[in-house]
Amino acid sequence: MKRSAVAAVLLQAFATQVYAQSSVTMYGSIDNGITYVNNVAGKSILMEQGGISRANAFGVTGTEELGGGLSTVFKLENGFSTTTGALGQGGLLFGKQAYVGLHDDSLGELTFGRHYDFTVLLEPYMPCIGCGIYSVENADLDRISGERLNNSARFRSASYGGFSFGAMYAFGQYAGPLTMNAGRAYSGFVQYEHGPFSAMAVVTDINGAPIGAGQLGARTVLGMPVQPNTTLIVDNQRIAALGASYKLGKWTPSLTYSNTQLKERGMASTDQLLRLGTTYSVTPATLLSGQVSVDHFEQSRWYTVNLGLDYYLSHSTDVYVDLAAQKASGPQTMASIFLAGTASTSSQFLSRVGVKHIF
């Protein structure tokens, strides 16, 4: 009896210790609202859209301490629609992220699976991050809104005196029509942070990359005629981009610049996009954001102004207003604010009210 009691106590103590060294966290974000667009194919529309201020997501992440600063890490994350309840990313169960690996406090983290490429790390440098997805380039050619790479191995370093870096390689294993890289891909970044200043440079190169060519607003892309719903799988997409910000009290001015080259069947075109703007903390609960962007692709240009107002009801919940206006120029070039739809003319305006909750 005594031996059994001692064994039970030891077993309970061991189980408690193991439990204390492991953790699993559920998290997510829910966003929905009403958007008005003055011109989509020649008509004004009023629609409900979700995932605009922040992508709708639900995920599970976990760690297990292995000792000596080493731990196991994993993440399983899906996207979903708040308007229909459907799974996002074409119905994939864990379409946003799915990876497992090891983390070392002094070296960094190595993981394997489905990851965002490193271009998404420039998102915090977008001057109008409070303006949501409408401040992204028409067809998101620079992938700053967040796109994934399948079959990838990723390393992110620890910070060394403000410097950090990362490298990712995705193997060329075709994964069906929903793949983001039919061929091999790589991505890398370097970042420096010191006090109020922060800067980052990123490069991403993908073979067999799908692009929403029809969302640009141009009638031709790489010499091929496109419709608003046209998606092309180009031979190569290469992105070189940078971002910088500086916190000045309540103001945080920032910029991003991206240079995206597309190659298909011997043709090559380059998209260049510059964003300039700032955020301003009116009060601890009120944030104003604004940016001006210029996008140049082939013979087309798009000039866009974005404004955003966020009011935080709590640490996790806010209500917001987004405004966006775009003017296009160039032969047969239409305005086409990202996810709003292509206009029938060279100008487009939208407004949105919404609410989001992060948990």
Q: What is the pLDDT of residues 207-235, one digit of tens each?
A: 999 999 999 999 999 999 999 899 999 99
The two tokens of residue 177 are 């029509």
* Domain annotation covers residue 102: yes
| Structure confidence at residue 10 (pLDDT) | 37
As a whole number, mean pLDDT of residues 178-200 equals: 92
As a whole number, mean pLDDT of residues 274-291 equals: 97
Reported as a pLDDT band with limits 50, 70 and 90, residue 340 is very high
CATH code of the domain in which 146 resides: 2.40.160.10
| Structure confidence at residue 7 (pLDDT) | 43
Q: What is the pLDDT of residues 124-164, one digit of tens each?
A: 999 887 888 999 999 999 999 999 999 999 999 999 999 99
Percent of the chain with pLDDT over 90: 86
As a whole number, mean pLDDT of residues 245-259 equals: 97
What's the rounded Cα separation, in Å, for the pair 271 and 257? 11
* Domain annotation covers residue 131: yes
Give whole-number Cα distances, 24 to 20, 27, 233, in Å. 11, 10, 38
Segments forming the whole domain that contains residue 318: 25-358
The two tokens of residue 110 are 């190595």
Q: Which residue is it, tokens 């993908």?
A: 206
* Domain annotation covers residue 219: yes
| Structure confidence at residue 175 (pLDDT) | 54
Q: Please say if the pLDDT value at position 17 is more than 70.
A: no
Q: What is the per-residue burial (b if ≥16 Cβ within 10 Å, else e) of 64-82?
A: eeeeeeebebbbbbbbbeb
Rg (CA), the chain: 22
Percent of the chain with pLDDT over 70: 92
Measured at the CA of 333, the angle between CA 330 and CA 336, to 5 degrees, comes to 130
Quote the number of domains for the chain: 1
**Choice among 7-16, 320-329, 350-359 with the minimum mean pLDDT:** 7-16
The two tokens of residue 339 are 């996810």
Mean pLDDT estimate for the chain:
92
Reported as a pLDDT band with limits 50, 70 and 90, residue 75 is very high
Q: Please say if the pLDDT value at position 16 is more than 90.
A: no
As a whole number, mean pLDDT of residues 307-319 equals: 97
* Domain annotation covers residue 20: no
DSSP string for 46-115: EEEEESSSS--EEEEEEEEEEETTEEEEEEEEEEB-TTT--BSGGG-TT-SEEEEEEEETTTEEEEEEEE
pTM: 0.89
CA proximity to 328, closest of 309, 351, 349, 358: 349
* Domain annotation covers residue 6: no
* Domain annotation covers residue 333: yes
Reported as a pLDDT band with limits 50, 70 and 90, residue 8 is very low
* Domain annotation covers residue 85: yes
Reported as a pLDDT band with limits 50, 70 and 90, residue 90 is confident
Contacts of 192 (CB under 8 A, 6+ apart): 162, 163, 198, 199, 200
Contact 231, 214 (CB under 8 A): yes
Count of CB atoms situated within 10 Å of the CB of 335: 26
* Domain annotation covers residue 5: no
